[in-house]
Structures are given as C-alpha cells and as structure tokens.
Structure 1
Amino acid sequence: MSKALSKAKGFKQSKSGTYLSMATTAYGVFGVAKQVKKARREHDTLRLLDAAVSAAAIVTGLALLVRELKRLGDDDVLLG
C-alpha cells in the first residue's frame, strides 16, 4: 500500500478529518432550524418533537467528535 493511500485512509482519524466531521455535523443545524420554523408555523407538535430529537443527535455527535479530538492530541496520523 502506498504512503499516500495510507494517509488518505487515516484522514478520518486525523485532526483535520475530525474537524471536517464536526463541520458537516454542525451543518445539520440549518436543517433542524428550518424544520422547527415549519413546525411552529403549522403548529405541528410531532414535527417539532422530531426536530428536537434531531437536534439532540447533532449535539451528541458533536460531543463525540470533541472527545475524539481530545483523544487524538498530538499523535495526528497525517503528521507522522
């Protein structure tokens, strides 16, 4: 396996990959905000509950990624 391919496969476990995952996860907030607006406008409790569960999933996902980022510390696979 080439060194470049090896680095590419390790991207997800790198700080850069974790930051990218955090950004894409946080981007989900826009969809949830849109869903909340629509639910409030239509007085749809079920859709509002769905938005709340989705928001909780985003918060949990970000918390997991922050923990992963702390775990990575200085031993970033792309640097070594």
Structure 2
Amino acid sequence: MSAMAKKAKNFKKSKTGVYVSLATTAFGAVSVAKQAKLARNDNDTLRLIDAAVSAAAIVTGLAILYRELKRLGDDDVLLG
C-alpha cells in the first residue's frame, strides 16, 4: 500500500474525516429533498419511492457516522 493510500485510510478514520463525511452526507440530503419535492409535484410515484429509499440510506449513513464519532471519543457539542 502506498504512503498516499495509508494517509487516505487514516484520514477516513480521523475526527476530521468523519466530519467531512457528515458534511458530504448532509449535502446529499439536500439533493434527495429536491428530488422528493419534484416527484411530489409531478405525482411521480416511482421517483418518490426512490427519494424515500435514498433518504433512508442517508439516515443510516448519518447514524453510522455519529456512532463513529462517539467511538472516537469526540467531546463535540453535537454529542451532548
């Protein structure tokens, strides 16, 4: 494994990496919300189902990232 790959792997498991992942996932939530709004306006059931499944994936991803932050022992305000 190259030095760059090791650094990237370590970054993903760092507090900063988790925060970046949280922000990226939250940004994805904005896109899903727009998709759901358009689907409701167009009465497109299939796109609405797709948005709901995507939203569930985002919620699951955020829960996993939150658990990872707790595991890292972060004393951030978000964690209470």
TM-score norm. by structure 2 comes to: 0.79
1 or 2 for the larger relative contact order (CA 8 Å, sep ≥6)? Answer: 1
From the superposition, tell whether residues 60 and 9 of structure 1 become closer, same or farther in structure 2 (CA, over 3 Å). Answer: closer
Partner in structure 2 of residue 47 of structure 1: 47
- The answer for unaligned runs of 5 or more in structure 2 is 75-80
Matches within 5 A, 1:25-64: 25-64=25-64
Q: Distance in 1 between matches of 2:12 and 2:54?
A: 23
Partner in structure 1 of residue 77 of structure 2: none
Matches within 5 A, 1:1-80: 7-73=7-73
Larger Rg, first or second structure (1 or 2): 1
Q: Secondary structure at the match of 1:10?
A: helix
Q: Distance in 2 between matches of 1:5 and 1:52?
A: 34
Q: Distance in 1 between matches of 2:7 and 2:73?
A: 18
Aligned residues: 73
Q: Distance in 1 between matches of 2:5 and 2:36?
A: 42
Q: Secondary structure at the match of 1:31?
A: helix
